[in-house]
Homo-oligomer: A and B are copies of this chain.
Amino acid sequence: MSIGNFDFDEPIDRRAVPALKTHPLVLGADGDHLFPAGVADMDFKAPPPVLDALSHRVAHGVFGYEAAPDGLLPALRDWLRSRHGWAVPAEQILQAPNVLNALSMAVNLFTREGDGIIVQPPVFFDFFDIIAENKRALVTHPLVLEDGRYRMDFEALAQLAAEPRTRMLLLCNPHNPVGRVWTRDELARLGEICRAHDVLVVADEIHADLVFPGHTYTPFAAVSDADARNSITCVSPAKTFNIPACSAAFTIIPDALRRTKFQAENSRLNVNKNNAFASWRWRRRTARAGRGSMRCLITSAAIAAAIGRWSASGSRTCRAWN
């Protein structure tokens, strides 16, 4: 399949770099003959403008200490607003090395040892690890499979949220792996229940951009101001552009007190330092013939010249969100 100037069928040897999905850590010591499908990344290249911008950054040649590029937050804000209708004030956005780091820090900072944290299985296995590694108590709120589609049982959720030890819910939106893009109504009901019981919603929204036509991703924090204040949201270009190894993510924290606490922990741990290949500006424009078209740019500086274009069809994802 070829879209625009990009060939999705170009075979690329993932073993030429230490790709985790072809690594003995995932395939096992004798797993060289297995088809590597154990890690959620894609076997085609990053978009041409990303590669151009990375090349451009390498060509500059100096990799000293760096601040975040001026264009970084405006680009992120523009993306979230124009693409998802989510207006995020710049001061609410913190840099993170990856979403898991941000999720774990949120668990650690805003709950105490032994507190209950709700997850909605079947869900991304790392949620369980994060809860265990932070010595919190797992509270499971299983999704209900009905007519081939998963839904939330809100009565059960209200009961779990009402337990005094329950302090947080880890939301996966869109949900990995069941493929649901939660509707605004579903998120509103969840948000209301959590606010009623003072349960903080920490949303992993890393798959936000990978949604089939006909479905709409709603940022949990965009449901209402009250929900925004009761939320921490993690986003990243890692899935959208297939670049987790570039180590870029953002944490959006509307509540000022929580944000100050989070920023202090970022500073204590020195995990929010800029690295030259992890600063992103990305943009979308609508395009011809009913197809979504994305324009994206990696900028590790104010290298505005590196703008390029990345076209992709509506079925551009390797997953099936619906």
Contacts and interface: CB of A to CB of B under 8 A. Distances in A.
B25 A67 contact: yes
A271 B65 contact: no
Interface in A37-74: 39-46, 51, 54-55, 57-58, 60-70
A123 interface: no
A140 interface: no
A271 B97 contact: yes
B67 A20 contact: yes
Interface residues of A, number: 68
A238 B45 CA distance: 28
B64 A270 contact: no
Nearest to A243: B63
Q: Provide the main secondary structure of the chain A interface.
A: loop
Given A16-B303, A268-B134, A269-B104, A65 B21 contact: yes
A260 interface: no
Contacts of A104: 268-270
Interface in A216-250: 242-247
A19 B66 contact: yes
Interface in A77-107: 97-98, 100-101, 104-105
Interface in A179-205: none
Nearest to A103: B270
A19 B300 CA distance: 10
Contact of A98 (B68, B105, B270): B270
A246 B98 contact: no
A51 B46 contact: no
7 contacts: A18-B300, A21-B65, A55-B55, A63-B246, A64-B244, A98-B273, A245-B275
